[in-house]
Amino acid sequence: MSTPLLQIETPGTAAPAPRRLPPWLRAKSGHWDRVHAMRVLLTGSRLTTVCEEARCPNQGECWTRGTATFMLLGDTCTRSCGFCAVATGRPAPPDPGEPRQVAETSRTLGLRFVVVTSVARDDLPDGGAAHFAATVRAIQDLNPGAQIEVLVPDFKASPESIRTVVASQPTIFNHNLETVERLTRKVRVQARYQRSLEVLRLAKAMGQPLTKTGIMLGLGETEDEVLELFRDARVAGCDVLTIGQYLQPTKAHLPVAEYVHPDRFKALEEGAYGVGFKAVYSGPLVRSSYHAEMTARKLEASPEDSRRNP
């Protein structure tokens, strides 16, 4: 019988999800001056960041380090996932000037690693793939030498859309599975687990050097299910994995089923390396873009050593 993650005996854990956050979920606030300067710059650029829209707990830390994840195609999503704080509704038409604006801002910030994601845009024929590709090319033109990670929606597993993004040659192609197969319809609503695996498989088959996915724990998954997801992602050719704790954005979103102790994250990290992932970030506050630039540098420098210093 599968075991819920928190029912494994670990010092300092409790089976029911507590009302207060446990001490290991206290995020770093960051350096106020650097955070303020980043906010002013991003506000002036009129760009959207997932750091703000998704209420990322690492915003202070990442902005202090001068990194941010740009969110393309507006701040309104066509899907209504139960875990996500991004607004749902009818989005505005894409801004054709946005790719260049992202590129110019990344250059102004001096970013050597740029992460771009987007809301889901099922209203667009290609799901926004051409917009992603235009952004990657603009960054390559205006901020040469910068590495780029794209965190894409599933594009309904359209080979044409995936090929469009891969052809722009991002450093890392990221698409999140988010949760185990059993919980996917509840957590992601309009998404499909097997369809997301197909996105990763197609990107790798089309020649993408590094592919990546991320999941959340604490939604009611079992350890056996998580390990099965690891194996499924590896069969799809996925190279990099992030594992973090789900945190309920508002009372209207899915409740937290459990707060997973850091020891379990460490054990799952070892399990992920055991099935062949090249790099794994696993911890309560890890998010899909957390320290993305460090992962890319380490894999590029020495793929064999990435496990020692993920």
Q: DSSP letter string over 52-119?
A: HHTT-TTHHHHHHTT--EEEES-SEESS--TT--SEES-PPPP-TTHHHHHHHHHHHHT-SEEEEEE-
Contact 94, 131 (CB under 8 A): yes
Estimate to the nearest angstrom the gap between the alpha carbon of 100 and the chain centroid: 23
- Spatial neighbors of 192 by CB under 8 A, at least 6 apart, are 154, 184
Report the C-alpha gap between 292 and 240 in whole angstroms: 10
pLDDT for position 53: 43
Domains of the chain: 26-305 (3.20.20.70)
In degrees and rounded to multiples of 5, residue 258 shows phi and psi of -165, 150
Residue 51 has pLDDT above 50, yes or no: no
Q: Of the given ranges (136-140, 189-193, 194-198, 292-296), which has the lowest mean pLDDT?
A: 292-296
The pLDDT, as a whole number, for residue 117 is 93
Q: Which 8-state DSSP code applies to residue 143? A: S
Evaluate if residue 191 carries a pLDDT over 50. yes
Q: Which helix (H) or strand (E) holds 185?
A: helix 184-188
Average pLDDT of the chain is: 82
Q: Is residue 93 classed exposed, middle or buried when 0-12, 13-18 and 19+ CB atoms within 10 A define those classes?
A: exposed
Q: How far is CA 261 from CA 125, 172, 240, in A?
A: 42, 29, 22
- Among the residue ranges 33-37, 105-109, 269-273, the one predicted with the least confidence is 33-37
Least confident of 20-34, 131-145, 160-174, 278-292: 20-34
Q: What is the pLDDT of residues 13-40, one digit of tens each?
A: 434 444 578 887 765 544 455 555 555 5
End-to-end alpha-carbon separation of the chain, Å? 32
Give, in order, the Cα–Cα distances in Å from 63 to each of 67, 111, 139, 290.
5, 11, 19, 11
Contacts of residue 55, Cβ cutoff 8 Å, sequence gap at least 6: 85, 249
Nearest-5° Cα angle at 282, 28 to 265: 105
Over range 85-106, report the average pLDDT: 91
What number is the average pLDDT over the span 122-146?
97
pLDDT band of residue 255 (cuts 50, 70, 90) is very high
Average pLDDT over every residue of 275-285: 93
- List the single range of 11-15, 58-62, 282-286 with lowest mean pLDDT: 11-15
- Asked if residues 246 and 256 have their Cβ atoms less than 8 Å apart, the reply is yes
Question: What is the pLDDT, as a whole number, of residue 208?
Answer: 97
Distance CA 92, CA 283 (A): 36
